[in-house]
Amino acid sequence: MAKQARAADDGSAGDALGLLRLSANAIAGERPVFRGVLRLLEERITSGALKPGARLPAERTLAGALDVSRATVVRAYRELESRGLARGYVGRGTFVSAGPDGSGAPFAWRGKLSASALRSGDSVIRDLLRASSDPRLIAGPGGCPATDGFPIDAFRASLDRVLGGAHRELWGLGPTEGLPPLREAIARRFGGRPESTLVLAGAQQGLDLIGRCLIEPGDTVVVDRPGYLGAIHTFRAAGARLVGWDVVRHDLDELEDLIVRYRPKLIYTNPTFHNPTGWVMPMQVRQGLLRLAARFRVPVVEDDTYRELYLSSPPPPSLRSLDRQSLVIYVGTFSKMLAPGLRLGWMTAAEPIIEQLALIKQRADPHTQSLVQLVVADLLETGKFEAHLTELRAEHRRRRDALCSAFKRRRASELVSWRVPDGGLYLWARLHARIKSSVVLRDALADGVGMVNGEVFYVDRAGEGEFRLCFSSIPTSQANAVAERVTRHIRAARADVASPSPLVAVG
């Protein structure tokens, strides 16, 4: 008995025959005969009685047990193989290759996912987007500017102008690279040349294109530590090994060491009002980074999502503007300057690289929506965009100040450290006690305040006591409520840590 159980665990052929409980009766009357054999085997595999990896009985053995010809068994095994349920190996036998997987996927789909899909299993971003669109929250976890200040009147006026214009351009197919009026307006306002500008459905699409264009599974990518979780996900799903460069220290020796040790394919950085920390890379670090990139021929992806969202004075020049060797791929977006819901961004790089990225975009998303391209081009050209940005900065300043004051009033500095950000959208905080931010975040979310756990920004599982709060999405009228709830949940979590639950008496 014990021996038989072990045999079952091994999935040996003798066992398979046992599990099949086959007899000539099992297929009596089915014609052609091989179909009966096939049905029997398929049922056992589908039910899980025969598990993946189990060896099927030798053809001769099964033929004997069922009282059919060996050719019939051979035919049934071939059919099983062609259905992806078994696989034959010369000299070793035929093995079950699929079975119920508990994922709930219909049986026909088992084992069909690509390696790339299997690397995409992490749903943090999707969950974050779901939570961000939950109207019950008073603060959303996603990165969002003050959208209640969206310039709706200017937007409508631009819409009217565009809808009154040429329809072929608006409704017909458009060029993959983007419509000329927007490419030109972007180049005039944000730098780069129209010919080396590729219009995107948001910055994230740009990162995905870069991943597809440059990364092979096994390549190394240096990313900010902590760093933007969308970049982490995208490069990881492309099969990259990620190594983090500490953005708080911004140590060029560390970067050189990483480059020499890992020979990265890319350096990804968000140097200006960094997500999640709000840091700005100093000028000499920018120059040093570019020197290293040139010396070791490593392309640099500059994610410049937050540049225009300064709260006091404009930040230092972009890496792109300092780059003399066409090493920088620059990614920009209107998501934080206008609204994430619009899905509009762009990238610039050396023209042959933009050309290559456009060839990849053409099959993923032949062109970005024409209407939003023309409306935003109009907002830029009429100066309405600039006026909006000025107002947006002022509103973000008010929101940052209201939230920081509210935290001060609640004596939050007893619980948590943060640095008042000078731009961007986020407050990045570190808990004092050895409290896991995940506990605080879970309770705060249930209480209507969405934040993001520090861990998701690190490629090396650090960040346990850190979290990100998007100050720009919290109206000043809600600042007190948010600060009250956050500090209350931290205090509660601290109390739990301080007084661990007593041992439960047994018996």
Q: Which of residues 328-367 bind its own copies (CB under 8 A)?
A: 338-343, 350-353, 356, 358-360, 362-367
CB 354 within 8 A of CB 348: yes
Among 135, 218, 500, 502, binds its own copies (CB under 8 A): 135
Phi, psi for residue 213 in degrees, rounded to 5: -80, -35
> Looking up tokens 């937007």, which residue turns up?
155
CA distances in angstroms from 396 to 23, 49, 338, listed in the order given: 77, 61, 13
- From 64-72, 166-174, 181-189, 497-505, give the range in contact with its own copies by CB under 8 A: 166-174
- From 52-60, 63-71, 104-112, 487-495, give the range in contact with its own copies by CB under 8 A: 104-112
Among 15, 208, 378, 455, binds its own copies (CB under 8 A): 208
Q: Does 85 bind its own copies (CB under 8 A)?
A: yes
Among 93, 100, 142, 191, binds its own copies (CB under 8 A): 142
Distance CA(117)–CA(239), nearest Å, equals 11
Min dist CB 59 to its own copies, Å, is 20
Among 70, 83, 189, 488, binds its own copies (CB under 8 A): 83
CA distance between the termini of the chain: 37
Among 113, 248, 495, 498, binds its own copies (CB under 8 A): 113
CB 17 within 8 A of CB 62: yes
Query: For residue 169, what are the contacts with CB-CB under 8 A and spacing of at least 6?
Result: 179, 370, 374
Among 296, 439, 448, 488, binds its own copies (CB under 8 A): 296
E strand or H helix that includes residue 252: helix 252-262
How many residues of this chain bind its own copies (CB under 8 A)? Answer: 108
Among 105, 387, 420, 497, binds its own copies (CB under 8 A): 105
CB 301 within 8 A of CB 235: no
- Using alpha carbons, select from 424, 189, 389 the residue that is nearest to residue 304: 424
CB 328 within 8 A of CB 349: yes
> In a 3-state reduction of DSSP, which class is residue 415?
coil
Min dist CB 65 to its own copies, Å, is 25
- From 116-124, 414-422, 453-461, 486-494, give the range in contact with its own copies by CB under 8 A: 116-124
Q: Does 237 bind its own copies (CB under 8 A)?
A: yes
> Looking up tokens 């307006």, which residue turns up?
185
Distance CA(433)–CA(437), nearest Å, equals 10
Min dist CB 30 to its own copies, Å, is 15
Q: Does 476 bind its own copies (CB under 8 A)?
A: no
Between 388 and 410, CB nearer to its own copies: 388
Among 169, 184, 422, 447, binds its own copies (CB under 8 A): 169
Region 244-283 residues binding its own copies, contact defined as CB under 8 A: 259-260, 263, 265
93-96 vs 426-431, strand pairing mode: unpaired
Q: Does 193 bind its own copies (CB under 8 A)?
A: no
